[in-house]
Each structure stands twice: as C-alpha cells, then as structure tokens.
Amino acid sequence: MPVIAVEKPLREKLGDEGAKALVRLLNDSNEEQKTDIIKFVGEKFERRLTEEIKSLEVRLVEKLANLEVRLSEKIDRGDKALSEKIGRVDKTLSDKIDRVDKTLSDKIDGVDKTLSEKIDRVEIKLSEKISNLDVKISSVKSELIKWMFIFWIGQVGMMLGILFAFFKR
C-alpha cells in the first residue's frame, strides 16, 4: 500500500484530523478497488474453468460412447465368426476342437492386444488434452495477473494525477 503524505499547505487548510481523514479515505478507496478487481477476475476465471471442464467432460463421454460402440461391433463380428466355426466343428469334432481352441486363443490375444493399444492411445490423448488445458489455464492466469498489475499502475497514476492537480491549487 503506498504511503500518502499530505503536504503542509493542504494540512494547514484541512487541519490534522482532516488530512488524516483524507489519507484514510484514499487508502480505503484503493483497498476497495483492489478487492473488487480481484473478486471480479477470480469469478471470471472460475466461470471459464468450469466451462472448459464441462466441455472436456462432454468430449470424454462422446469418445467413450464411440469406443463402446466400436467394441460392441467387434464383439458381434467375433460372435458371428465363432458361430460359423462351431457349425463346422460339429462335423469333425475331435480333430478340429484343438485347432479351434488355438485359433480362438490367438484371436482373443489379438483383440486384447488391439484393445489395450487403443485404450493406451486414448489415455495418451486424454493426458495430452489435460496437459494442454493446464497450459491454457496457466497462460490465462498469467495474462490476468499481468492485466491486474497494469490496471493497478494506471490507478496509482490516476490517483497521483488527481493529488498533484489537487495540491497545485
């Protein structure tokens, strides 16, 4: 908080109590302005952050829904292929059971590997999106702080201008 000194001519006209009251008024006004600005910027940042989080949640739900649909389609295709193989296995039961078992194991491993890779890619993309959001939040925060300081400097300059104009008289 800047120290405000009341010059002697003004102090003589206002008196000691009047000068002290003027200094208190200016200090209170400055503190109230700071508080209002910080509150406004905080609320704006909180609103923006909430909007971004909601947007991210919507996109995540959409991606998960798409992943579930694709997984269901692959399972349906796998079920259809399995039913056809079981029909053929009925004809030559003993020899083909071993081959079908091996084929199913390989396909399950392949599907498991593919699914694991896709889940890993989704997790990586999600991590990238979250880190990008963190960077954006940091950038917005630093911009807000920069503009707050610029505003405060302007306010101090304005107050000094008013005081100089007031004391020149």
Name the percent of the chain in helix, strand, coil, to the closest 5.
95, 0, 5
Which whole number is the average pLDDT over 15-22?
85
User: Could you tell me the end-to-end alpha-carbon distance of the chain, in angstroms, rounded to an integer?
Assistant: 26
How many residues are given for the chain? 169
Identity of the residue numbered 101: D
Out of 6-20, 24-38, 136-150, 152-166, least confident range: 6-20
Which band of pLDDT confidence, cut at 50, 70 and 90, is reported for residue 12? confident
Estimate to the nearest angstrom the gap between the alpha carbon of 72 and the chain centroid: 32
Give residue-wise pLDDT tens across range 88-129.
656 677 776 778 788 889 888 888 899 999 999 999 999 999
H or E, element range at 15: helix 8-91
For residue 94, give the H/E element and its range: helix 93-168
